[in-house]
Amino acid sequence: MTEAATAPRSVLITGGNRGIGLAIAEAFLANGDKVAVTYRSETKLPEGILGVKADVTDEASVDAAFKEVEAAHGPVEVLVANAGITKDTLLLRMSEDDFTSVIDTNLTGAFRVIKRASKGMIRLRKGRVVLISSVSGLYGAPGQINYSASKAGLVGIARSLTRELGSRGITANVVAPGFINTDMTAELPEATQKDYLSSIPAGRFAEASEVANVVRWISSDEAAYISGAVIPVDGGLGMGH
C-alpha cells in the first residue's frame, strides 16, 4: 500500500512552528494529510498548515488546542509529540527548577498530549503516536541530566502505550535524532559542535527533513507492525539503542 493511500488523516505536531516540528508538518502536508501544529507565540506558517496555540505544560491549553483541531480536521489520528526545551548545565550547577521544568515540557508535556489524543484514537480504533526523543536519552550527555532523563522517559511511555493500546490499531514509536541543524543546536558552543562532529560516523549534522521523513514513514500503513521501537536518526552516533 502506498503512503498516499492512508491520507488524508488528521495530524497534529506539537511545537511545529519551527525546526524539526515544522519539517515534520511539511512532510505530512506533502503526503496529502490534514496538518495542524501547536505554537506558543504568533508565527507565520506555510499555507495549508493549521496553527493552534498551546503550551504543553498546561492541560487546559492542550485540551483547547485539540478541540480546535478536531473541529477543523476531525479526531487526531497521528500525533507527533515534538515540543521540547533544553536547560543544559552540569549537575552541580543544575537547579531543581532546571530539572523539573525540562521534565514538565519534554516528558509530562508528551504525557498530556498523548492522553488527550488517545481518547479519539481508541474510538477510531487506529492511531499513530510518535515521540521525538534524542540520542542524549540513551547515550547520555554531560550537562544534560534533565534533558536526557526526559528523553529516556519517552521510551517508557511508548513501550507502555504499546502494551496498553497495541491491540486497538494504535502504534507508539520513538524517533531519536542526533544532531540536527536547528535553533536548538545553533545555541551550542562552537567547540562542543566540533567535538560532536568528530564522533558522528556520518561526519555531518543532519537536516530536519531527514528526521521528518522517518516520522512520516513510521506513521504510515507500511509501518503498521512496528511499535515500541526506538529509531535513531543520528548518523550512527548512538549505535546500540
Is residue 185 involved in binding ligand NDP (CB under 6 A)? yes
* Contact status: 62 vs ligand NDP (CB under 6 A): no
Q: Which of 9, 12, 13, 21 binds ligand NDP (CB under 6 A)?
A: 21
Which residues 82-101 are close enough to bind ligand NDP by CB under 6 A?
A: 82-85
Q: Any contact of residue 57 with ligand NDP (CB under 6 A)?
A: yes
* Nearest-approach distance from CB 14 to ligand NDP, in angstroms: 6
**Long-range contact pairs involving 59-63 (C-beta distance under 8 Å, separation at least 24):** 59/112, 62/112, 62/113, 62/116, 63/116
Residue 124 or 141 with smaller CB distance to ligand NDP: 141
By CB under 6 A, the residues from 154 to 183 that bind ligand NDP are 177, 179-180, 182-183
Q: Which of 39, 41, 37 is nearest to 10 (CA)?
A: 37
CA angle 158, 162, 163 (to 5 degrees): 125
Binds ligand NDP (CB under 6 A): choice among 76, 102, 132, 215: 132
Q: Does 10 bind ligand NDP (CB under 6 A)?
A: no
Coil vs helix vs strand at 96: helix
Give me the active site residues, please.
147
Q: How far apart are CA 41 and CA 18, in angstroms?
A: 11
* Distance in Å, CB of 4 to ligand NDP, minimum: 26
Task: Identify the bridge partners of residue 206 per DSSP, sorted by sequence position.
Answer: 180
Residue 238 interacts with ligand NDP (CB under 6 A): yes or no: no
Contact status: 18 vs ligand NDP (CB under 6 A): yes
DSSP bridge partners of 177:
233
DSSP 8-state class, residue 8: S
Grid cell in block for residue 177? 535524532
State the Cα–Cα distance between residues 17 and 25, nearest whole angstrom.
9
CB of 43 to ligand NDP, least distance (A): 7
Residue number, 40 or 204, with CB nearest to ligand NDP: 40
The SS3 call for residue 117 is helix
User: What residue ranges bind ligand NDP (CB under 6 A)?
Assistant: 14-15, 17-21, 38-41, 54-57, 82-85, 105, 109, 132, 134, 177, 179-180, 182-185
